[in-house]
Amino acid sequence: MTIENISRNKSFGGWHKQYSHRSSSLNCDMRFAIYLPPQTLAGEKVPVLYWLSGLTCSDENFMQKAGAQRIAAELGIAIVAPDTSPRGDDVADDPDSYDLGKGAGFYVNATQAPWQQHYRMYDYVVSELPALIEELFPVTGQRAIAGHSMGGHGALTIAMHNPDRYSSVSAFSPICNPMTSPWGVKALTSYLGGRDQWLQYDASELMKTATEFVPALVDQGKDDQFFEAELKPDTLSAAAKTSGYPLQLQLHEGYDHSYYFIASFIEQHLRFHAGYLKTNGDTA
């Protein structure tokens, strides 16, 4: 695989780097960021946390705003942040909407025109990107996954579909029940068509019937402006009770949907993942 290094910055003894590469899943050039902790400079291979960002974001938001590098350096965890959608002049878009098209891939495999040619973010995150990371960087086959908002939806659904690939999953302010939220209905209708295809990408519906479990941590601010209409954490809590899913759902007074919230609790999330990454062994 051929990749191009775009930038590099020393951080807490490790390196934050950006790369571009040609994606076969998405049929376009893609960019991702990776933080390699200082342990890798000493020849160690480390596990990876994949971070999925939310609407309108790119690979840069989390890496620049969350303050995760200090704890990742201490724990010896690499962080990989892909972009949130395919990009390029020939990639379909809805220029009048922030919640559909570029910056809004929703981590699904689109089946409807004009989206199906490029919008296969599920395959990119689950298969293509990890294969590239594990071939070219000093990492093990141990993986955890996390995300925010649209990315929290992606992290939860991807983990539940692939319990053999991820040791743990966490999310900040995830879209918990996209089949009933305006963001979700718009995206799922456009990318997938009829409602019979939506359930596979709805975290609450998947959690309700789950029989294989990936330990999950979810944090939600109670002053989040999207709490009621878009995020619906109560549906996820009810689903976990139905199936006995190992979900820790924590609500926080005063916190909103911003990266100030994420930065306040990211250390807890990284330590949560570190415990499972250290004990679950190598996964394929």
Q: pLDDT tens-digit profile of 187-216? A: 999 999 999 999 999 999 999 999 999 999
Q: Among residues 179, 172, 155, 186, which one has the least CA distance to residue 257? A: 172
Looking at residue 278, what is its pLDDT?
78
Q: Among residues 58, 54, 61, 96, which one has the least CA distance to residue 231? A: 54
Looking at residue 2, what is its pLDDT?
86
Can you read off the two tokens belonging to residue 35? 């933080």
Looking at residue 283, what is its pLDDT?
39
Looking at residue 240, what is its pLDDT?
98
Which residues, 6+ apart, have CB-to-CB distance to 64 below 8 Å? none
Looking at residue 221, what is its pLDDT?
98
What are the residue ranges in the chain where pLDDT is below 50?
279-284
Looking at residue 21, what is its pLDDT?
98
Enzyme catalytic residues? 149, 224, 257
Give dist(CA 154, CA 174) in Å, integer: 8
Spacing of C-alpha 130 from chain mean position: 13
| Domains recognised in the chain with CATH numbers | 3-276 (3.40.50.1820)
Give dist(CA 206, CA 187) in Å, integer: 18
